Amino acid sequence: MKFTFIAPVVMCIAGGALAQTTVQSCDRQVTFDAPPKAAISNDVNLTEMMLVLGLAESMVGYTGISGWRTLDENMTAGIEALPELSAKYPSKEVLIGADADFYFAGWNYGMKVGGEVTPETLAPYGINVYELTESCIHMGSKDAASLEDMYTDLRNLGAIFGVSDRAEALVTGYQQELASFLAGLPELEAAPRVFVYDSGKDVPFTAGRYAMPNALIEAAGGTNIMNDFEKSWATVGWEAVVERNPEVIVIVNYGEVTADQKIAFLKGNPAFADIDAVRNDRFVVLEYVEATPGPRNIKAVKSLAAALRAE
C-alpha cells in the first residue's frame, strides 16, 4: 500500500469554533474533536516542530532527548518549563501517567513496529497519535523523502491544534527563504556524489532514499549515492561506498562519537584513501536535529548547498 497524504479536513460550527479535524497519519486517518491540551512529543526534531508552532502551552512534557543527545540554547529556552518524562523511548505507563491526550512520534522516533507504544495500544487510554511522515515507510510504501514531508507535518500539526494560519505562514516562509538562497548560488555543472555517514565502523549506518538527508542533498543540488537504497536509515557495506566514490561526505553529529572522531576514522583508514571526499578533505557536518525532519532542515540545505559549491 502506498500512502497518499491529503490536506487536513477541518469542519467548523457556527461562530467559527473548531469542531472536528481529520488528518492523514501514515496509513490512518485520525480525527480530533478539539485541539489537544496535554500533548507529548518525542525526540528533539519533533519537539522543535511543536515549539515553532507555539504549542508549548498545549504540552505536558517531552521524551527521548537527553538519553541520546544534548539540547542547545534554542531548545532549552523553548521547553524550560516542561519536564522530560523519559530520557529515551517512553513506556505506555509514562504517557498514561502524564494524562496525555496526544503523542507526536514516529516509527523509530519513539515507537517501534510491534512495540509497546503504538497508536493502537494508546487509543484505549484516549491518547491520539500523529506519526512523523518521514517514518511512514515503516508502515507501507511512500515516495522518497522530501522537504514536503516536513511541511506536511507542520500543516497537520497546525490543523490538529487549530493554528493552521501559523503553520501555513511558517511553511511559506521556509519555502521562500530557501528559494531565495538557492537562487543566489552558482549553478552546478553536475550533481556532486554525496554519502551520509551516521555511525558505525564495521558497517556504516547511512541514509537511504526514504531518510530526510536524501531530500536535503537533492534540494542542495547533490545526489545521495544511496538514493537507490530502499530503506530509511540502515546499514550498508563499505564496499558499496568505495565503489560509488562520494565526492562529499556528510557527517551526522550526535552521541558519544564526535564528528571529528568520525572524520578521523575515515581519513585514517587506508581502505578509504582513494575516495574523492576523503582525498580532498570534503566533509560537511550536520547536527542530528538538522539531518532529521524538522525546522532546521532549511539551515541544513543551505549548509549543504554552500559546501557542494566550495572549491
Same domain? For 250 and 114 the reply is no
Task: Quote the pLDDT of residue 79.
Answer: 76
Task: Quote the pLDDT of residue 15.
Answer: 41
Last-in-domain residue among 146, 176, 206: 176
Task: Give the pLDDT confidence of 184-195 residue by residue, as tens digits.
Answer: 999 999 999 999
Same domain? For 77 and 166 the reply is yes
Is position 127 within any domain? yes
The CATH code of the domain that includes 24 is 3.40.50.1980
Task: Quote the pLDDT of residue 155.
Answer: 98
Is position 223 within any domain? yes
Task: Quote the pLDDT of residue 7.
Answer: 59
Query: In total, how many domains does the chain have?
Result: 2
Nearest-angstrom CA–CA distance, 58 and 163: 12
Is position 289 within any domain? yes
The C-alpha cell that represents 235 in the structure block: 546499514
Comparing 22 with 79, the larger pLDDT belongs to: 22
Task: Give the pLDDT confidence of 119-158 residue by residue, as tens digits.
Answer: 999 999 999 999 999 999 999 999 999 999 999 999 999 9
Task: Quote the pLDDT of residue 296.
Answer: 94
Task: Quote the pLDDT of residue 67.
Answer: 79
Task: Quote the pLDDT of residue 16.
Answer: 43
Question: Is pLDDT at 6 greater than 60 in this prediction?
Answer: no
Task: Give the pLDDT confidence of 37-77 residue by residue, as tens digits.
Answer: 999 999 999 999 999 999 999 999 999 988 776 666 666 66
Last-in-domain residue among 115, 144, 176: 176
Question: Is pLDDT at 17 greater than 80 in this prediction?
Answer: no
Task: Quote the pLDDT of residue 271.
Answer: 96
Place of cell 523519559: 86
Is position 188 within any domain? no
DSSP string, 24-38: EETTEEEEESS--SS
Task: Give the pLDDT confidence of 222-279 residue by residue, as tens digits.
Answer: 999 999 999 999 999 999 999 999 999 999 999 889 999 999 999 999 999 999 999 9
Same domain? For 227 and 105 the reply is no
Is position 237 within any domain? yes
Query: Which residue type is seen at 287?
Result: E
Strand runs (DSSP E) across 38-147, as ranges? 39-42, 59-63, 84-86, 102-107, 110-111, 128-131
Beta bridge partners of 253: 287
Is position 182 within any domain? no
Same domain? For 138 and 37 the reply is yes
Is position 181 within any domain? no
Task: Quote the pLDDT of residue 298.
Answer: 97
Same domain? For 153 and 294 the reply is no
CB-based contact 124:95 (threshold 8 Å): no
Last-in-domain residue among 111, 146, 176: 176
Same domain? For 151 and 14 the reply is yes
Nearest-angstrom CA–CA distance, 94 and 127: 12
- Please tell me what DSSP assigns to residue 272: G
Q: What is the pTM of this model?
A: 0.92
pLDDT band at 12 (very low <50, low <70, confident <90, very high): very low
Same domain? For 156 and 303 the reply is no
Same domain? For 142 and 34 the reply is yes
Give the domain extent around 283.
Answer: 193-308
Same domain? For 28 and 126 the reply is yes
The whole-chain average pLDDT of the chain stands at: 92
